[in-house]
């Protein structure tokens, strides 16, 4: 690694140190799914709010059923029939039972439930005034769900900083929260730069290509939980570039591709030096060594290199963790899988390579070997998207090595798995 190059870790730390969590925003309950809670959720009720039956059956006094069996049943008089949602006004006395449905409140006097399967309906047992034969002795508390069993009044059920999952949504609904505060999704402006670019529905003329980077980036922003805003193409002239880049303060984050290398027509760099506070880095990595980071009008700004794969890898390593930090997440790294490299690989030794690869489980790995293998997903030119499209990981090949033989244990960044997955 030459003196003026930053390591991937140095660049990442420098970026993240200057990225802050966004302000909380109040959202509808279902919109909170997958977001980070910005507040504790404290229950003002017991869940469930009252003792209730876990079964369809009969509410009884356990003492009355002592010794009951199929051969020698205990016969009780049915004094009520309690549906879920209804509170019985009847007290179950000695020799009495109440027909009861799952979820219905336990009537006064009763201390246990006998499942309907362990009873026999005698005369009109389902209705008040009938009789029922009990085939099994109950123990006090049988099939009774106590008030507050799941959640107690005053209990902090969800904590600021945790990620809302489907069960949290259910819990919050049970506690009466129709809205709640989460860290919001950043609005991310995307700008592609270059006179060679045409829109995706245009037919490229001689020397032109379609603007694909805006779309791959927008998809990556969506996948990271951000809100992409496609600002279009900045042409290689100062007025055009400035007009788009000056819009940064309308957004939480701006990402550009291209225009920050050593090319004579790269006006982005000139404009940025006028309107923003930027660092232009060479990071010891391939693809994507030139990376720009800073602020424009106070908004964090990422200048990614223009080759399609360099753009996507730069996003993965620097922008995705930044978006997650803005969203309040504390786990900012994709899971890593150790794998045995399946093929000989060459690289320059002065930088880390992030090869596009496919990681797969091995049926029976040799003792001590990882339980995965990793192979390249295609040709590794940074201009080529096909290998990225087939990849489920980035194979991280460290600085200092140039020949990496098959059989080497390598670390794979799992593009197919979310951060925080153990």
Among 67, 206, 366, 405, binds its own copies (CB under 8 A): 206
Q: Report whether 313 contacts 48 (CB < 8 A).
A: no
Burial class (CB in 10 A: 0-12, 13-18, 19+), 16: middle
User: Does residue 349 bind its own copies (CB under 8 A)?
Assistant: no
Considering the complex, what minimum distance in angstroms separates the CB of residue 137 from its own copies?
A: 19
Provide Rg for the chain, Cα atoms: 32
Among 167, 363, 364, 366, binds its own copies (CB under 8 A): 167
Q: Tokens at residue 167, please?
A: 């069960």
Give whichever of 66 and 89 is closer to its own copies, judged by the CB atom: 89
Considering the complex, what minimum distance in angstroms separates the CB of residue 348 from its own copies?
A: 13
Give whichever of 213 and 340 is closer to its own copies, judged by the CB atom: 213
Q: How many CB atoms lie within 10 A of CB 179?
A: 12
- Contacts of its own copies in 357-416 (CB under 8 A): 359-361, 367, 371-372, 379, 381, 383-386, 388-389, 391-392, 415-416
- Contacts of its own copies in 313-342 (CB under 8 A): none
User: Does residue 215 bind its own copies (CB under 8 A)?
Assistant: yes
Segment interacting with its own copies (CB under 8 A) among 64-72, 248-256, 305-313, 347-355:
305-313
Bridge partners of 116, per DSSP, are none
- Contacts of its own copies in 246-285 (CB under 8 A): 261-265
The DSSP element (H or E) to which 145 belongs, if any, is strand 144-145
- Contacts of its own copies in 85-124 (CB under 8 A): 85-87, 99, 101-105, 116
Give whichever of 217 and 296 is closer to its own copies, judged by the CB atom: 217
Considering the complex, what minimum distance in angstroms separates the CB of residue 20 from its own copies?
A: 26
Give whichever of 41 and 397 is closer to its own copies, judged by the CB atom: 41
Q: Is the dihedral of CA 104, 106, 110, 112 positive or negative?
A: positive
Alpha-carbon distance 393 to 388, whole Å? 9
**Three-state secondary-structure class, residue 193:** strand
Considering the complex, what minimum distance in angstroms separates the CB of residue 40 from its own copies?
A: 14
Phi, psi of 224 (to 5 degrees): -85, 0
Among 27, 45, 243, 332, binds its own copies (CB under 8 A): 45
Give whichever of 3 and 72 is closer to its own copies, judged by the CB atom: 3
SS (H, E, C) 227-245: EEEEEEEECCCHHHHHHHH
Alpha-carbon distance 313 to 214, whole Å? 14
Among 149, 227, 240, 246, binds its own copies (CB under 8 A): 149
Q: Tokens at residue 329, please?
A: 């997440």
- Contacts of its own copies in 219-248 (CB under 8 A): 219-220, 222-223, 228, 236
Among 94, 95, 126, 400, binds its own copies (CB under 8 A): 126
Among 93, 129, 204, 249, binds its own copies (CB under 8 A): 204
Give whichever of 181 and 246 is closer to its own copies, judged by the CB atom: 181
Alpha-carbon distance 174 to 307, whole Å? 50
Among 1, 5, 27, 33, binds its own copies (CB under 8 A): 33
- Contacts of its own copies in 169-198 (CB under 8 A): 169-178, 194-197
Among 30, 42, 63, 153, binds its own copies (CB under 8 A): 30
Considering the complex, what minimum distance in angstroms separates the CB of residue 297 from its own copies?
A: 27
Segment interacting with its own copies (CB under 8 A) among 7-15, 242-250, 281-289, 353-361:
353-361
Q: What is residue 107's DSSP assignment? A: P
Report the interhelical angle of 238-245 vs 267-275 (nearest 10°).
50
Among 67, 207, 366, 405, binds its own copies (CB under 8 A): 207
Burial class (CB in 10 A: 0-12, 13-18, 19+), 178: exposed
Considering the complex, what minimum distance in angstroms separates the CB of residue 18 from its own copies?
A: 25
Q: Is the dihedral of CA 289, 330, 220, 218 positive or negative?
A: negative
Number of chain positions touching its own copies (CB under 8 A): 104
- Reference 216, options 307, 103, 352; nearest CA is 307
Where does 41-129 show beta strands of DSSP type E? 41-42, 52-53, 57-60, 74-82, 96-100, 112-115, 119-121
Segment interacting with its own copies (CB under 8 A) among 48-56, 183-191, 245-253, 280-288:
48-56
């Amino acid at each position: 690694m030459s003196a003026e190059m930053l390591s991937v870790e140095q660049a990442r730390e420098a970026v993240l140190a200057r990225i802050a969590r966004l302000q909380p925003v109040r959202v509808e309950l279902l919109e909170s799914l997958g977001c980070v809670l910005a507040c504790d959720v404290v229950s003002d009720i017991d869940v469930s709010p009252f003792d209730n039956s876990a079964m369809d059956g009969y509410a009884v006094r356990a003492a009355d059923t002592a010794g009951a069996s199929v051969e020698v049943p205990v016969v009780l008089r049915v004094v009520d029939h309690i549906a879920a949602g209804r509170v019985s006004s009847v007290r179950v006395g000695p020799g009495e039972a109440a027909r009861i449905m799952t979820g219905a409140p336990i009537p006064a006097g009763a201390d246990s439930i006998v499942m309907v399967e362990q009873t026999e309906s005698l005369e009109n047992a389902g209705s008040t005034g009938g009789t029922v034969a009990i085939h099994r002795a109950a123990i006090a508390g049988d099939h009774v769900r106590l008030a507050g069993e799941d959640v107690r009044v005053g209990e902090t059920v969800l904590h600021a900083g945790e990620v809302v999952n489907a069960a949290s949504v259910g819990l919050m609904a049970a506690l009466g929260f129709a809205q709640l505060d989460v860290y919001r999704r950043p609005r991310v402006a995307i700008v592609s730069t270059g006179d060679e670019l045409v829109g995706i529905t245009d037919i490229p003329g001689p020397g032109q290509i379609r603007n694909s980077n805006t779309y791959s980036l927008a998809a990556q922003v969506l996948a990271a939980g951000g809100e992409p805003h496609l600002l279009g193409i900045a042409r290689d002239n100062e007025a055009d570039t400035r007009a788009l880049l000056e819009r940064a303060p309308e957004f939480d984050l701006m990402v550009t591709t291209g225009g920050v290398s050593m090319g004579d027509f790269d006006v982005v760099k000139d404009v940025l030096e006028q309107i923003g506070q930027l660092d232009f880095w060479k990071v010891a990595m391939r693809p994507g060594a030139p990376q720009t980071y800073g602020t424009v009008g106070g908004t964090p700004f990422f200048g990614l290199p223009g080759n399609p794969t360099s753009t996507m890898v730069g996003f993965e390593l620097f922008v995705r963790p930044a978006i997650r930090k803005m969203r309040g997440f504390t786990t900012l790294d994709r899971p890593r899988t150790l794998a045995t490299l399946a093929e000989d690989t060459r690289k320059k030794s002065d930088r880390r390579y992030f090869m596009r690869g496919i990681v797969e489980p091995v049926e029976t790995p040799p003792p001590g070997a990882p339980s995965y293998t990793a192979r390249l997903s295609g040709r590794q030119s940074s201009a080529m998207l096909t290998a990225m499209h087939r990849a489920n990981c980035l194979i991280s090949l460290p600085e200092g090595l140039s020949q990496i033989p098959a059989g080497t244990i390598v670390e794979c960044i799992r593009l197919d798995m979310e951060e925080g997955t153990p």
